[in-house]
Amino acid sequence: MTHAPTPNHPHPFDLAASLPVRLPEARIRYGAESPVQYADLRLPKDAPPPAGFPVVVFVHGGGWTADWSKDYASPFVEALAEAGFATWDLEFRRLGNLGGGYPGTFHDVAAGADHLSEIALHHPLDLRRVIAIGHSTGGHLALWLAGRRNLPAGSALYTPDPLPLKGVISLGGVNDLEASLRIGNRTDILTLLGVSSLPEAMPRFAETSPAQLLPFGIPQVLVAGSLEDAWRKEMTASYAERARQSGDAVDLVTPEGIDHFDIVDAQGPMLAPIVGQARRLVGS
């Protein structure tokens, strides 16, 4: 059966176009439970600053499913490295992988980010200037990385001394799980959390939804183009206001004529503004 290109069935030519021009410096495992517990490290071509390169932890999207790997965003991540950032491009267990979903997906993203402390022992990384950037459902996970410091010690997702971030950028992200389920009919959120209804999901939203982990105490940038689905734009605007009311500094960017994948097009008009925001967050 031939499928039209969709998020679950991308056109094979689209996948081929996502191959990076330059291979990463290293592909490094951060866990031993699954073959997808790894990340790609890319370094800028220039000589590193005395303290090391600022770092972007990138989290890809794809509905939290194994149908999508991080490869679709490889050119975008590569462009971030060319712009002067060391990039730590995470792969992780997703729905369809053994152990994917709650809590494995969250454990992997946390462990992958925290593994930078080990990587910095051997590569020129400035861990005082680390930000997270995520696209789509990866935007949810990037924001969750910023908010996980607020998890109680009794949470199944709690990690002591998580890697501190200087800021976070969500590109078309699923920033508020409850709102996305309610107004966007994102029933895949229930699958992610391993529950069958909204009432069952509520206790887990407290651990997994960025909206319920506010404030982060770091700046946030939220991007939602004018061609995004109406529910995503509504959810993002509502989340931005909630984050501001919590005390966080939030920059809501709503570019005209930009859709869900234009945001991570390495040749598109959003690359330069996103690089500018990333440089501002890391303080360069």
What confidence tens digit (pLDDT) does each residue in 10-42 have?
443 454 456 777 889 999 999 999 999 999 999
- Residue 10 is assigned to a structural domain of this protein: no
Residue 104 domain-assigned? yes
pLDDT at 14: 54
Is pLDDT at 5 greater than 70 in this prediction?
no
Q: Note whether 57 and 12 are within 8 A (CB).
A: no
- Percent of the chain past pLDDT 90, that is, above it, reads 92
Question: What percent of the chain has a predicted confidence (pLDDT) above 70?
Answer: 93
Task: Please compute the mean of the pLDDT values over residues 123-152 and round it to a whole number.
Answer: 98
Structural domain total, the chain: 1
Q: What does 115-178 look like in DSSP terms, one character per residue?
A: THHHHTTTS-EEEEEEEEEEETHHHHHHHHHHHGGGS-TTSTT--SSPPP-SEEEEES----HH
**Does some domain include residue 229?**
yes
On whether residue 3 sits in a domain, the answer given is no
What does the DSSP 8-state code read for residue 282?
H
**CATH classification at residue 226:** 3.40.50.1820
Whether residue 1 is contained in a domain is answered as no
Domain assignment present for residue 11? The answer is: no
Q: Using CA of residue 221, residue 47, residue 24, residue 261, what is the dihedral sign?
A: positive
Judged against a pLDDT cut of 50, whether residue 98 lies above it is answered with yes
pLDDT (0 to 100) of residue 15 = 47
Q: Has residue 91 got a pLDDT over 50?
A: yes
Its pTM stands at 0.93
The answer to whether residue 192 is domain-embedded is: yes
Structural domain includes residue 168: yes
Host domain of residue 48: 16-282
Residue 135 near residue 263, CB atoms below 8 Å: yes
- Residue 3: band (very low, low, confident or very high) from pLDDT cuts 50, 70, 90: very low
